[in-house]
Amino acid sequence: MLVEQGALTREQLQEALDQHRRVGAPLGAVVLARGMVTRRQLYVALAEVWGADLAFVDPVEVDEELARRFPAAMLARETWVPLRVEEDGDGLPQVVVATAGRPSAHIAEEVVQRTGIPRVRQVVTTDWDVQRALRTVWRDELVHDAVKSLAERRPEESASTVFVWPQVAAAIGLLVATVTGLVLDFSLTMVVLVATVNVAVALAVGTKALISTVGTAWETVEQVTAAEVAALEDADLPVYTILVPVYKEAGIVGLLMRNLADLDYPREKLEILLLLEEDDPETLTAALAAAPPDLVRIVVVPHSLPKTKPRACNVGLTFARGEYVVIYDAEDRPDADQLKKALIAFRKGGDDLVCVQAALNYFNARENLLTRMFTLEYSSWFDYTLAGLDKMRLPIPLGGTSNHFRTDMLRDLGGWDPYNVTEDADLGIRASAQGHRVAVVNSTTYEEANMAVGNWIRQRSRWIKGYMQTVLVHTRHPWRLLRSVGPRQTAGFALLIGGTPLMFLAAPWLYALFVVQLVWPGALVPVLPEWLVHVSLANLLLGNGVIIYLSLLAGFKRRTYGLVPFALFSPVYWLLHSIASYKALWQLVVNPFYWEKTDHGLSSHVQVDESAGLEEPPAAPVAAAPVRTSAPDPVQPAADVVRLIDPATVPPPPVRRAPEEDQP
Amino acid sequence: MTAANPLSQLRPGASPAEAESFAEARMRLAVSGVTPPRLPMRRVLGLSAAVLVVETAVMLVTGQSLHDVLLPGYLILMTTFGLVFCLGAVTVAGFAAGAAGAGLVVLQPGALLPLLGGAAVLALGCGFAPGWARVEAWQAAHSRPLTAEEEAAVGQRALDGGRSRGWSPGVRLRNYWRTDRVLAAFLVLAFHPLLAAFALWFTHWSAGR
């Protein structure tokens, strides 16, 4: 039909049919993904094939009372919306629904069940129109689900309540006991305090060293081999959704398009959801100007509080249609075969595997001292610590991006907690607590290392605050946690997630002891016994020694030996962590849900010239796709996006025609 | 007449992107099929443990002090793991060798300088050891580069090493050499002994104040 209409040449049709047979994706998805036709042309043809009217949905025409009977999440998954109730030719009421898929009995049954009206008329519309209607008419519900879903379904797992009463009581009790102790017996209380801090720090440092050391033993082990990736058949690949939350990062949207274009995955089976915030028109404009290919959908997340990345991701999850879903940041450069490796890891990992975490590393490691230190830290964490956690089957706190999920299991888990500012780490622990597993895979995503100290402290204080939130959430019922994940996993969680902020908070006090002992030898002895002073100093020395050593090792996995000498600066780098941790502690009390925005795009590696973002994206980037024989109008993809945004550009529906064949 | 290999040289006037792609293609061609060295670590650990047990038993039976028993024990551990680190390119073995070296320093503070000398020799060995070059080549073939220049350098070296000549003893040692690797290996091996020596010195110094 598209050929008859002149929208598609016979050569293009043959090429599309070949691809359709090769990747097993619907023919419509193939011609759309390859830019052979516009979305509008495709849906006009589909409506004819399916024997239905075509309608372009204007959200203001949707009957809101009718809309309230249908949950947004279901409609987003099934890509249809109810429009209105009208009278049919016999004067009887009938419900009109617009669907982006083939009209089906399932939709009719659902409508009858929810409205009690037995007559249903199904018209065809584009998936973008469905999405726009959902975003507009079901706006409040979408926002509510994204923000409140976890807090309402499983409040004990949500950080929306920062402290529960037993925690507050325990904190007050400890404070009162400490003050009373200091008044009654200052020396003894100090001994207890200093000894407790020392034991906690020693255990936390020791645990990190042990886990990372276990991880080093697997540094040349591949969870998924290149041969396994090569053996994958495109036809067996599922639809994969990529969520890209972007906020006030207009400058790197074009770069994102290029980075994701390198992915080795059939573009017909990719769905990229660019999650933009409603109050960020600059980024939206830049995204439109970048003329994203058709597989990119721009989802404008309605404004609400807390304005956090997990809230945007939850909205994205509502619209995700892939069997698997992954998050990337705008500046990320994932390895080309990462989606395929993650998929194989899922297939090998068993049914309880909910998430596969790829390693993160930095592409601008050598930009300055801070980026070098950050890269060493990330290498140590993702290459050794997470590998060690995986091998020891301990709960894995997920990294910020490149975590791949089974979509249905992620929905069952309740998605991300929008009140937790390290929602990723929290989700990894929550998954473990519910009996699921998180694994790592030998693939890397390169990010931009933070290169400015102020920016770094903002980012790090958020991470540390998130760790504190995560500890507070998962220790509300310590016995329940112990029973559900076991003593070893509980200890690993407490010492790694809880121990990390504790180490940073304690470090300045240990340094203070060191300085006092250095400047005024023996000055502490009247208050603290000499053995405890020595133990504290030894703890400080050993702790720093371990941290330096782990950083020394970090350069080996990726043969970045040039970074290794910088490991000697780790103690200074850790003092920066201490500053960030005190800021985090303060914010935890006064502004717990505040999302400290990290500025991206500062690196010279991601400075994009203005024209780059305006170019049409590469013609055959995502999979090994043949070059199209007839390029469409270069402005067409952008025009389609604009149509999504601007209802005024929607054309009138065409006249219905009789069904022909089951192909556009 | 043999057709020219399109990867034999970069065409004149190539763009930086083309040069990068060329370097990567050469690297992948050169290192495909290379595997990292696999040491039978269980055997190594088993043998070390057996030697340690025998040594300890003999020393204790002959009435030696704990100090005298521990000294050769640490030496055995340090030598074994140092060699595994150097020849087998097993990073974690460097950790063990360094820790054993620290033990030696605690027992025998005067051993620091000879230990550092030994660490330097082992680090130089890491600079030439084929095992390291194999691990690097394997890594280069299995991950994306941090920077194009870095990876291009690895690829060029690996190619110069020559797949046609294989990773045989006949390959010129200079192809394996990396100065940054030597420095990094030295730091790994020497860090713990130095830390232990500093701790001892500081304790002694503060006690004497």
Q: Which residues of A touch B140 (CB under 8 A)?
A: 559
For residue A478, cis peptide bond before it (omega within 30 degrees of 0): no
Q: Which helix (H) or strand (E) holds A447?
A: strand A437-447
Q: In what order do the strands lie in the sheet with A80-87?
A: A80-87, A93-99, A120-124
Question: Rounded CA gap, A109 and A100, in Å?
Answer: 17
What pLDDT score was predicted for residue B122?
Answer: 93
Give the minimum alpha-carbon distance from B45 to chain A in angstroms, rounded to a whole number: 13
Question: Rounded CA gap, A193 and A4, in Å?
Answer: 82
Confidence of residue A112 (pLDDT cuts 50, 70, 90): very high
Q: Pick from A618, A572, A480: which is nearest to A164 by CA?
A: A480
Confidence of residue A660 (pLDDT cuts 50, 70, 90): very low
Give the minimum alpha-carbon distance from A79 to chain B in angstroms, rounded to a whole number: 38
Confidence of residue A217 (pLDDT cuts 50, 70, 90): confident
Alpha helices in B62-90 (DSSP H): 66-88
Give the minimum alpha-carbon distance from A344 to chain B in angstroms, rounded to a whole number: 16
Q: Is the pLDDT of residue B17 over 70?
A: no
Q: Is the pLDDT of residue A87 over 90?
A: no
Chain B interface includes A166 (CB < 8 A): no
Q: Is the pLDDT of residue B162 over 50?
A: no
Question: Rounded CA gap, A447 and A601, in Å?
Answer: 10
Residue of B nearest to A542 (CA): B195
Mean pLDDT confidence for A614-639: 32
Arithmetic mean of pLDDT over chain A: 83
| Encoded tokens for A581 | 């941790």
Chain B interface includes A558 (CB < 8 A): yes
What pLDDT score was predicted for residue A314?
Answer: 93
Chain B interface includes A569 (CB < 8 A): no
User: Which of A24-38, A591-605, B57-71 is the least confident region?
Assistant: A591-605
| Interchain CB distance below 8 Å, B184 and A561 | yes
| Interchain CB distance below 8 Å, A213 and B192 | no
What pLDDT score was predicted for residue A256?
Answer: 76
Q: Pick from A2, A55, A9: which is nearest to A28 by CA?
A: A2
What pLDDT score was predicted for residue A341?
Answer: 94
A483 neighbors A387 (Cβ within 8 angstroms) = no
pLDDT digits (tens, 9 = 90+) for B117-146: 999 999 999 988 888 888 887 777 766 554
Q: Is the pLDDT of residue B105 over 90?
A: yes
Could you identify the residue written with the tokens 């372009």? A56
Give the minimum alpha-carbon distance from B187 to chain A in angstroms, rounded to a whole number: 7
Question: Rounded CA gap, A44 and A54, in Å?
Answer: 7
Give the minimum alpha-carbon distance from A216 to chain B in angstroms, rounded to a whole number: 6
ipTM, two decimals: 0.75
What pLDDT score was predicted for residue B39?
Answer: 76
What pLDDT score was predicted for residue B175?
Answer: 62
Nearest to B187 among A534, A558, A565 (CB): A565
Percent of chain A with pLDDT over 90: 35
pLDDT digits (tens, 9 = 90+) for A426-472: 999 899 888 899 999 989 898 888 888 999 999 999 999 999 999 99
Confidence of residue B186 (pLDDT cuts 50, 70, 90): very high
Beta strands in A111-198 (DSSP E): 120-124
Higher pLDDT: A358 or A22? It is: A358
Mean pLDDT confidence for A628-652: 32
Question: Rounded CA gap, B129 and B121, in Å?
Answer: 12
Higher pLDDT: B16 or A473? It is: A473
Q: Is the pLDDT of residue A626 over 60?
A: no
Nearest to B138 among A220, A446, A549 (CB): A220
Q: Is the pLDDT of residue A316 over 90?
A: yes
Question: Rounded CA gap, B41 and B90, in Å?
Answer: 10
User: Number of Cβ pairs closer than 8 Å across A and B?
Assistant: 91
Q: Is the pLDDT of residue A12 over 70?
A: yes
Q: Is the pLDDT of residue B86 over 50?
A: yes
Question: Rounded CA gap, B110 and A460, in Å?
Answer: 43
A463 neighbors A618 (Cβ within 8 angstroms) = no
pLDDT digits (tens, 9 = 90+) for A275-306: 998 888 888 888 888 777 778 888 888 888 88
Q: Is the pLDDT of residue B71 over 60?
A: yes
Phi-psi region of B62 (alpha: psi -120 to 50; beta: other; left: phi over 0): alpha
Confidence of residue B26 (pLDDT cuts 50, 70, 90): low
Mean pLDDT confidence for A74-94: 88
What pLDDT score was predicted for residue B6?
Answer: 43
Nearest to B184 among A361, A442, A555 (CB): A555
Question: Rounded CA gap, A402 and A358, in Å?
Answer: 6
Q: Is the pLDDT of residue B60 over 80?
A: yes
A155-169, A205-219, A296-310 — most confident range: A155-169
| Encoded tokens for A44 | 């006009």
Q: Which residues of B touch A518 (CB under 8 A)?
A: 206
CA distances from A152 to A160, A161, A371, A428, B170 (A): 10, 12, 40, 20, 69
Q: What is the dihedral of CA A534, A540, A543, A546, to 10 degrees?
A: -90
| Interchain CB distance below 8 Å, B184 and A556 | yes
Chain B interface includes A442 (CB < 8 A): yes
CA distances from A180 to A187, A500, A589 (A): 12, 29, 24
Structure letter (DSSP) for residue A205? H
Question: Rounded CA gap, A93 and A120, in Å?
Answer: 9
Nearest to B143 among A362, A444, A518 (CB): A444
CA atoms within 13 A on the CB side of B25: 12
Residue of B nearest to A375 (CA): B146
Give the minimum alpha-carbon distance from A378 to chain B in angstroms, rounded to a whole number: 13
Q: Is the pLDDT of residue A625 over 50?
A: no
Residue of B nearest to A520 (CA): B209
Question: Rounded CA gap, A50 and A122, in Å?
Answer: 10
Alpha helices in A351-406 (DSSP H): 369-378, 386-391
Q: Chain B interface residues facing chain A, Cβ-Cβ under 8 Å?
A: 36, 91-92, 94-95, 98, 135-136, 138-140, 142-144, 146-147, 150, 154, 178, 180-181, 183-184, 187-188, 191-192, 195, 198-199, 202-203, 206, 209
Higher pLDDT: A153 or B15? It is: A153
Q: Is the pLDDT of residue B178 over 70?
A: yes
Beta strand A437-447 with A333-334 is antiparallel
Beta strand A403-406 with A324-327 is antiparallel
Backbone angles phi, psi at A354, to 5 degrees: -100, -25
Question: Rounded CA gap, A635 and A641, in Å?
Answer: 10
Confidence of residue A226 (pLDDT cuts 50, 70, 90): confident
What pLDDT score was predicted for residue B118?
Answer: 93
What pLDDT score was predicted for residue A622?
Answer: 31
Crossing angle of helices A453-474 and A499-519, in 10° steps, is: 120
Percent of chain A with pLDDT over 70: 89
Cα A170 versus chain centre, distance: 34
| Interchain CB distance below 8 Å, A361 and B146 | yes
| Interchain CB distance below 8 Å, A552 and B136 | no
Question: Rounded CA gap, A445 and A342, in Å?
Answer: 12
A466-470, A513-517, A619-623 — most confident range: A466-470
